[in-house]
Amino acid sequence: MTVTILCVEDEAAIQQLMDLALRRAGFDVALAADVTQARAAIASRRPDLILLDWMLPQVSGLEFARQLKQDGETRDVPIIMVTACGEESDKIRGLDSGADDYVTKPFSPRELVARINAVLRRAAPHAAEEVMEVQGLRLDASSHRITAGGDELNMGPTEFRLLHFFMSHAERVYSRGQLLDRVWGGDVYVEERTVDVHIRRLRKALSLHGHDRFIQTVRGAGYRFSTQG
């Protein structure tokens, strides 16, 4: 199966560089120089990943990432933000907008391809997985069942979606804003502290066999599903 990468980049030289590097790595490449072209490209063929320049004419890459993550059609398409600025605060803003990773210019073709492969590995195999199991905690997406050590756990639909998201995106920290975008969806207005309430409920539901330890608070950053530490 060929993987299609959509590159949204207005600088022709960098677009060319990306195009070449990605084709060499065996990807199908779609190119767009602005958000309008990107929308057209997505409509004609849904990409497997979007490489998105931060500084674009008219609509910024940051704003476009937000829009993509709020749209049910494109929510699950991973985004790697590309930017010239390497400030830590920019990185956080980029990831907050829903981007899955971040590449700073100038980058080597090898680094770019490695980042893309890492994000695809994280995103793809789990998205289609119906049953996930981690150390006795088992989630069956098709029957909406969660068991721990064979015992069925009861939880609300939001807790279920939250756990499903966490198990599909393990070992990564998500801010409350990101969780709202990815789990609740962008169309509802929910306060960030709502996330804390559902995290508490989820932990309580998971505590039967101690699996609540997987839901970890990362101070100043958010939450993470991790089987380590």
What is the full DSSP assignment across 56-116? Answer: -SSS-HHHHHHHHHHSTTTTTS-EEEEES---HHHHHHHHHTT-SEEEESS--HHHHHHHH
137-140/131-134 β-pairing = antiparallel
47 DSSP assignment: -
Least Å from the CB of residue 105 to Ca ion = 9
Among 3, 4, 10, 203, binds Ca ion (CB under 5 A): 10
Nearer to Ca ion, 5 or 52 (CB): 52
Tokens of 11: 């600088």
From 115, 98, 105, select the one nearest 22 (Cα to Cα).
115
DSSP per residue, 148-198: ETTEEPP--HHHHHHHHHHHHTTT-EE-HHHHIIIII-TTS---HHHHHHH
Q: Indicate the residue among 91 and 209 with the shorter CB distance to Ca ion.
A: 91
The one segment of 25-33, 38-46, 48-56, 144-152 that binds Ca ion by CB under 5 A: 48-56
Q: Which of residues 158-197 bind Ca ion (CB under 5 A)?
A: none
Q: How far is the CB of 33 from Ca ion (least distance, A)?
A: 9
Question: Tokens in use for 113?
Answer: 């391809």
Near Ca ion by CB under 5 A, which window of 4-12, 102-110, 156-164, 168-176? 4-12
| Residue 55 in the binding site for Ca ion (CB under 5 A) | yes
**Residues in the chain, overall count:** 229
**What gap in Å lies between CA 37 and CA 196, rounded to an integer?**
39
Work out whether 33 is an interface residue with Ca ion (CB under 5 A): no
User: Which stretch in 8-16, 43-51, 100-108, 207-215 sits in contact with Ca ion by CB under 5 A?
Assistant: 8-16
User: Which residue in 53, 96, 100, 181 binds Ca ion (CB under 5 A)?
Assistant: 53
Name the residue number minimizing CB distance to Ca ion.
55
Q: Do strands 28-32 and 49-53 pair parallel, antiparallel, or not at all (unpaired)? A: unpaired
Residue 48 as a binder of Ca ion (CB under 5 A): the answer is: no
* 5 versus 7: smaller Cβ distance to Ca ion: 7
Nearer to Ca ion, 55 or 123 (CB): 55
In the complex, the residues that contact Ca ion under the rule CB under 5 A are 10, 53, 55
